[in-house]
């Protein structure tokens, strides 16, 4: 049985996160919430959560600073960061303090579910009570198990997941890691067997497909939400990747 701590300074967000998943079905017998830094630290020490979900901003404090404090206290939790902001500095700090994943608000149920299931299987060595877990160990684009990739490549993949909706480039990622972009690109290509730009496009395409099939959002809104300012580029990439247009996919879906 697992314990969960959710930390956000907005009560409605806390209530929403508590309802997003059927936590009990995953084995969580305690779900606690907190709205402040001091209360979060106090509850974490008392609860010793298996998983803790932190907003990046808790009032005047930063979620990753609180996580660093809990790391110093040796709280054995696996952390997830959520944020209404999509900026490199937040994603970078989240990676530095060892979070397992970084989710943008509003948090999508399917994304949260995937992250929780992955942590349960890979980090807590639990099971999903009949749920398929094969895809949790493998990157959906590369088809390579995450534990077969280096720590650096996994950090790059996390950065893409955090920043795909923005103007992320290999150069901006390299600057974030204080590395040469050419060297970083070569390392990524060697492990991933595709260029960074190809991976980014594929990730955006898969996310766009999910939104097309599961929402009624306009195609132009979906394109913008996955990082495309130019609709011609979006349609060209989508047609090339899936062999059909966004509207054709929605009709057949």
Instruction: Supply the CATH number for residue 37's domain.
Output: 3.40.50.2300
Q: Distance between CA atoms of 168 and 162, rounded to whole angstroms?
A: 10
What are 44-97's pLDDT values in tens digits?
999 999 999 999 999 899 999 999 999 999 999 999 999 877 666 777 788 888
Rounded to an integer, the average pLDDT of 27-39 is 92
Instruction: Tell me which of 5 and 138 has the higher pLDDT.
Output: 5
Same domain, 73 and 174: no
Same domain, 33 and 151: no
Same domain, 108 and 168: no
Quote the number of domains for the chain: 3
* 211 — pLDDT class (breaks 50, 70, 90): confident
From 249, 133, 141, 246, select the one nearest 201 (Cα to Cα). Answer: 141
Whole-structure pTM value: 0.65
Same domain, 32 and 117: yes
CA dihedral 180, 183, 186, 190 (to 10 degrees): -110
Give the structural domain span for 87.
Answer: 2-136
Same domain, 127 and 35: yes
Domain boundary (94, 114, 136) is at 136
* 134 — pLDDT class (breaks 50, 70, 90): low
What are 153-170's pLDDT values in tens digits?
988 998 888 888 888 999
Instruction: Tell me which of 22 and 38 has the higher pLDDT.
Output: 38
Instruction: Supply the CATH number for residue 152's domain.
Output: 1.10.10
Q: How far are the Cα atoms of 135, 162, 222, 236 from residue 230, in angstroms, in the given order?
A: 32, 21, 12, 10
């Amino acid at each position: 049985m697992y314990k969960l701590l959710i930390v956000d300074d907005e009560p409605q967000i806390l209530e929403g996160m508590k309802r997003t998943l059927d936590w009990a079905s995953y084995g969580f017998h305690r779900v606690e919430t907190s709205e402040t830094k001091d209360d979060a630290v106090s509850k974490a020490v008392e609860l010793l959560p298996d998983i803790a979900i932190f907003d990046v901003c808790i009032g005047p404090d930063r979620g990753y600073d609180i996580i660093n404090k809990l790391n110093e206290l040796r709280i054995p939790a696996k952390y997830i960061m959520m944020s209404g902001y999509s900026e490199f500095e937040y994603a970078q700090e989240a990676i530095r303090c060892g979070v397992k994943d970084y989710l943008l608000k509003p948090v999508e149920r399917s994304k949260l579910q995937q992250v929780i299931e992955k942590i349960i299987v890979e980090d807590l060595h639990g099971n999903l009570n009949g749920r398929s877990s094969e895809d949790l160990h493998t990157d959906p684009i590369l088809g390579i198990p995450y534990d077969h990739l280096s720590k650096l490549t996994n950090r790059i993949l996390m950065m893409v997941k955090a920043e795909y909706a923005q103007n992320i480039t290999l150069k901006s990622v390299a600057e974030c890691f204080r590395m040469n972009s050419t060297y970083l690109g070569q390392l990524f290509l060697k492990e991933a067997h595709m260029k960074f730009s190809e991976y980014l496009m594929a990730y955006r395409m898969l996310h766009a497909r999910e939104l097309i099939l599961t929402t009624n959002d306009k195609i132009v809104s979906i394109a913008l939400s996955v990082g495309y300012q130019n609709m011609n580029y979006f349609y060209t990439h989508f047609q090339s990747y899936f062999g059909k247009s966004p509207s054709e996919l929605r009709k057949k879906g």
